[in-house]
Amino acid sequence: MGVDLLLLTSDPEPTAVLPALGLLSHKVRAHEPDVASLLEAAPYDAVLVDARFDLAGARSLCRLLSSSGVDAPIVAIVTEGGTIGGTDPTFGQITLGAYKYGLLIQVSRELLSDEGVDIEAYLAMQAGRAIGNAFGAHMVTGTGTSQPRGVVVDATLGKTGGAGVVGAFTADDLIDLHYSVIAPYRASASCYWIMKDSTLATARKLKDTTGQYLWQPSLQAGAPDMFLGKPLLTDPNVAATGLSNKSVLFGDFSQYFVRLAGGVRFERSDDFAFSTDLVTFRCLLRGDAALVDLTGAIKFFAGNAA
């Protein structure tokens, strides 16, 4: 007696998926590649998943099938009798250096001696914030010349908006941007949206065809809000919506590497301005950043030029 096989494929010619099955006495039933097919087609002895053209999607489906309680063997079909050719992989090179950011603050010795609060701690906090803001701005829009390469510079185009709307986006535009990033990057825990606050105000008002907001508020303190099921963060350095502006970023930000050389330094000198009786503080940071995966890990929405 033959084995009852369930073949999950979108191919209009299911026999092309695994031609050798036609030589055996097995019963093969073809269904669309989704979990619902398992319920409709039961019982079966084994599940075959067509992975010839979308290996990442097939892998995700296999995991989903395994977690749904299927007790039958699940087999992914890649290519029958295919030749595995030799390849010599090539790698691009990205050098992460260490650009220096510095800030100098001088205060009178009288202020430090007479203060009723911890002035030095306050200065350290403000200096660190200023240095971080300068470095953060370059991580978004830096040119790569005498400064880090910003993520906007190396991100690729995912969607261009329509004409006559001054660079604005629609709900459909952001859905297209979402799916312009391939599944492995979308599945990353570091996949999220980034836009500035004024752009977020517009995005929060977008609704789907049933009138439901695409934006979802966070249900946990400290956790980001969600948009189309992915975390949404804001950064003031991302461009606002406008003609040709890259106003929305989406993708796997784990592919954007940041190098900090030695951390942040906050140092004091009582001798630098000895002649004026000033105490000098300096804050220094050395770092660099660049998008190391240039194959579409992060994409942007661009407003139409018209």
Q: How far apart are CA 245 and CA 18, in angstroms?
A: 48
| Cα torsion angle, 132, 136, 142, 145, sign | positive
Tokens matching residue 268: 């004091």
| Beta strand 230-234 pairing with 191-195 | parallel
Q: How far apart are CA 231 and CA 182, in angstroms?
A: 17
Q: How far apart are CA 216 and CA 204, in angstroms?
A: 8
Domains in the chain (CATH in brackets) are 4-77 (3.40.50.2300), 99-302 (no CATH)
Q: How far apart are CA 52 and CA 177, in angstroms?
A: 26
* CB-CB contact of 267 with 128 (8 Å): no
Q: In the sheet that 4-8 helps form, which strands lie side by side, from edge to edge?
A: 27-31, 4-8, 46-50, 74-77
User: pLDDT truncated to tens, each residue of the chain (306 aa)?
Assistant: 567 788 888 777 777 777 776 677 777 888 787 767 666 767 777 888 887 777 777 777 777 766 666 677 877 777 655 554 555 555 567 788 899 999 999 999 888 887 678 889 999 999 999 999 999 999 999 999 999 999 999 999 999 999 999 999 999 999 999 999 988 889 888 999 999 999 999 999 998 888 888 888 887 777 889 999 999 999 999 999 999 999 999 999 999 999 999 889 999 999 999 999 999 999 999 999 999 888 889 999 999 998
The reported pTM is 0.69
